A and B are shown apart, each in its own frame.
Chain A
Amino acid sequence: MGWVWKSLNSSIGKKFVMAVTGVALMLFLVIHLAGNMSLYGGKDAFNNYVGLLEHIKPFIRVIEVILGLVFAFHIFNGIRLWIQNKQARPLPYSVNGSRKNTTVFSRTAFITGSIVFIFLVIHLQSIWYVFNFSGVEEDLYTLTTDWMRVGWYAALYFVAILLLGFHLNHGFQSAFQTFGWNNSKYFPFIKKFGTFFALVITIGFGSIPVYFFLLGGK
């Protein structure tokens, strides 16, 4: 199996890991968003959904472990790539011309990813950890919506989701390019669909703090 690790450690291999884990994380986002939409159905709708997941807890735990590994690989590889890329040009240009023909989304993938990671840690601690392990007997709807009414939390949530949208706008088409699926027939569509996907995720998640904090929720 040595050849697998060796291949995944090459420049293209590391990009491949970023793309595979990235696509897996995008799938997770879709499921997470679908679940979160039940927040709009009110307390019972959301807690029923949570109850459904509680019902298959052992399965969920396995998924969580896999998800954790996927996150770890994506982040670890991203940092490794970033360090190598910085080292590849020790002295930067005095005039930066790359602005002219690259998108802000592709140039800032590391920064947006880092901020989303900081949010992820806070988010996991405040909701996932508290609900699962702290022994607090609060239902998840109350726990979540209470946090959404805290100003700084709602603001951080909103900003992190916005930057996640930036990250996805680059990541979606980038994954296809890394897999080698670039063809003049369908690649323009993939780029557009990536932007559409990023918008759906941003508006979907981003609407939650807006609804509960700004509009008062239910």
Chain B
Amino acid sequence: MEHKKINLTLKVWRQQDANAKGKFADYKVSVSPDSSFLEMLDDINNDLEKKGMEPITFESDCREGICGTCGLVINGQPHGPIPRIATCQLHMRNFKEGDTIYVEPFRAKAFPIIKDLMVDRSAMDRIMEAGGFISVNTLSVPDGNSIPIPKEVASEAMDAASCIGCGACVAACKNASAMLFVSAKVSQFALLPQGQPERYIRVDEMVKAMDQYGFGNCSNTYACEAECPKGVSIKNIARMNRDYFMAKIK
């Protein structure tokens, strides 16, 4: 079997720490089209370590698109050029021989750079702590038909809950707004009976936390929806706007 490789030039953002000035470093690589993007970075890091050089810092965990840990901006697009996937699911077959690829970290004031391509996304955890939960113990999964919920509503809640909290929406938004993330977390509870008692206090607290961490405001450009690896809909943002208004006049 033929093992064809493609030659690429990578321009990778290197930055020592949050306060250091970063810059692009060039890496010439010859990579199998079957390799994933992160495997390619692993290879580069192996080479760098062999040479006694500092490897590129980047985050990843499950490498199957469900944990939300990985996240790189590849040629200006969070998680790269292919829609509906996380960075770990991007394969090099999507690039052409001789391509130059820019690899940058998620850029937002609310996501300070820790090192190279790794950013601190704990602001999203703080937002979750502000209200992304149900205070009462709802016990284990309820019996199939004990809480009647129309299929459409259950599906909508599930779609909102499919948000993996990767932060690509923030990275994609021209204003670095976290509205899609927060609205998904608000919606997954707002749509179901278990979420009702705290529905309005939740949206109020989560929006307050979101504003506190320096995310931008929503301009309704909908870049977030296009870049979301899970395709979370901007209808969730509309729902959050609605709930926030209700929370304020209640």
Question: Which chain A residues have a beta carbon within 8 Å of chain B's beta carbons?
Answer: 3, 7, 10-16, 81, 84-85, 87-98, 100-103, 106-107, 109, 170, 173-174, 177-184
Contacts and interface: CB of A to CB of B under 8 A. Distances in A.
A98 B174 contact: yes
Contacts of B211: 10-11
A106 B243 CA distance: 24
A170 B235 contact: no
Contacts of A182: 234-235, 237-238
B248 A88 contact: no
A102 B214 contact: no
Interface residues of B, number: 47
A145 to B, nearest CB: 38
A179 B78 CA distance: 28
Contacts of B216: 84-85, 87-89
Main secondary structure of the interface of A (DSSP, over half): helix
Contact of B76 (A90, A93, A183): A93
9 contacts: A10-B208, A11-B211, A85-B174, A89-B107, A95-B73, A95-B76, A98-B221, A102-B223, A177-B241
A102 B221 contact: yes
Contacts of B239: 180
B46 interface: no
Nearest to B217: A11
B215 A88 contact: yes
Contacts of A100: 77, 226
B248 A85 contact: no
B108 A89 contact: yes
A11 B221 contact: no
A87 B109 contact: yes
A181 B239 CA distance: 8
B133 to A, nearest CB: 21
B210 interface: yes
B16 interface: no
Nearest to B243: A180
Contact of B104 (A94, A101, A102, A106): A94
Contacts of A88: 108-110, 175-177, 214-216
Nearest to B175: A85
A101 B227 contact: yes
Contacts of B208: 10
A15 B217 contact: yes
B86 to A, nearest CB: 16
A98 B109 contact: no
A16 B245 CA distance: 9
A178 B241 contact: yes
A178 B220 contact: yes
A181 B175 contact: no
B37 interface: no
B181 interface: no
A112 B172 CA distance: 22
Given A88-B109, A96-B76, A183-B235, A107 B24 contact: no
